[in-house]
């Protein structure tokens, strides 16, 4: 899971990054709101930890702009604890508000709680492939790739059934429907183009000789 840390103080970013890495998160960094917006535009970010008082663009403004791009969960950081400041943040749709100084362990615990609340079945991840089913988008190495509707359905079905050998008949009936009048070559053709779209991850799709295909992936890999 990708977490963006936005703070103009490098020491704070480094401490948060260290604790996130220990828990298996992938941290991204930005020094200010403008930089944060660019990071969100060019990467798949699952949650933002953002300071309020920063040069060039403050956290509130950046949060508002980022929410226009994608509705990402937010934890706001601030040296101020006034109720007014918290209310502004919650009005913008933030998920949590942490007052500085803070415990890094507690911050990570709050990250875990928010990601658990926001986790949905509409997100599928395998290696560096991510399917956002709500947006109907596929990302490879955090970059959006273009798939046809059938390629999308085929990839999703293969990932949902990873490590299971699926016959061509199974794939035809589940992706194209029982009333489809095509032949097995339809599956083969789509697998070929799907592998090309996946680039260096093409070999995740294995051919099961005399039967069909499967995505083969072990978490330990």
Q: How far apart are CA 39 and CA 41, in angstroms?
A: 5
Q: Which of 118, 148, 172 is the last residue of a domain?
A: 118
User: Is residue 178 predicted with pLDDT exceeding 90?
Assistant: no
Q: How far apart are CA 44 and CA 142, in angstroms?
A: 5
- Domain count of the fold of the chain: 2
Q: What is the mean pLDDT of residues 110-124?
A: 74
Confirm whether 130 is domain-assigned. Answer: yes
Residues 10 and 112 both lie in one domain: yes
Q: What is the mean pLDDT of residues 85-113?
A: 85
The predicted pLDDT at position 180 comes to 59
Give the CA distances from residue 68 to residues 7, 56, 63, 71, in Å, rounded to whole numbers and listed in that order: 21, 19, 9, 7
Q: How far apart are CA 91 and CA 149, in angstroms?
A: 37
Residue 50 structural domain: 2-118
> Residue 97: which pLDDT band, with cuts at 50, 70 and 90?
confident
The predicted pLDDT at position 221 comes to 41
- For the stretch 16-30, pLDDT in tens is 999 999 988 899 999
Confirm whether 180 is domain-assigned. Answer: yes
Confirm whether 15 is domain-assigned. Answer: yes
- In angstroms and rounded to an integer, the radius of gyration of the C-alpha atoms of the chain is 21
**What ranges in the chain are assigned the alpha helix state H?**
10-22, 33-42, 59-69, 83-91, 104-118, 149-160, 168-171, 184-198
- For the stretch 56-74, pLDDT in tens is 888 889 999 998 888 889 9
Q: How far apart are CA 31 and CA 35, in angstroms?
A: 6
- CATH number for the domain including 64? 3.40.50.2300
Confirm whether 220 is domain-assigned. Answer: no
Residues 190 and 107 both lie in one domain: no
pTM reported for the whole predicted model: 0.55
- For the stretch 73-86, pLDDT in tens is 999 998 776 666 77
The predicted pLDDT at position 82 comes to 65
Neighbours of 50 (CB within 10 A): 26
Confirm whether 87 is domain-assigned. Answer: yes
Residues 12 and 82 both lie in one domain: yes
């Amino acid at each position: 899971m990708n977490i963006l840390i936005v703070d103009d103080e490098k020491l704070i970013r480094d401490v948060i990054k260290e604790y996130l890495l220990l828990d298996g998160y992938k941290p991204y960094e930005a020094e200010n709101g403008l930089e944060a917006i660019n990071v969100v535009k060019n990467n798949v970010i699952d949650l933002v930890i953002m300071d309020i008082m920063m040069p060039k663009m403050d956290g509130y403004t950046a949060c508002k702009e980022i929410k226009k791009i994608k509705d990402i969960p937010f934890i706001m950081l601030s040296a101020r604890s006034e109720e007014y400041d918290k209310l502004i943040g919650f009005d913008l749709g933030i998920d949590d508000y942490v007052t500085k100084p803070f415990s890094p362990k507690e911050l990570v615990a709050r990250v875990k709680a928010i990601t658990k609340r926001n986790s949905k079945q509409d997100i599928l991840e395998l290696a560096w492939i991510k399917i956002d089913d709500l947006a109907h988008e596929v990302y490879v190495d955090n970059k959006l790739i273009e798939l046809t509707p059938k390629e999308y359905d085929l990839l999703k079905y293969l990932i949902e059934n990873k490590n299971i050998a699926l016959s061509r008949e199974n794939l035809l009936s589940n992706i194209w429907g029982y009333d489809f009048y095509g032949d097995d070559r339809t599956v083969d053709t789509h697998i070929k183009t799907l592998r090309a779209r996946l680039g260096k991850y093409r070999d995740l799709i294995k051919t099961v000789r005399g039967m069909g295909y499967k995505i083969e992936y072990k978490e330990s890999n």
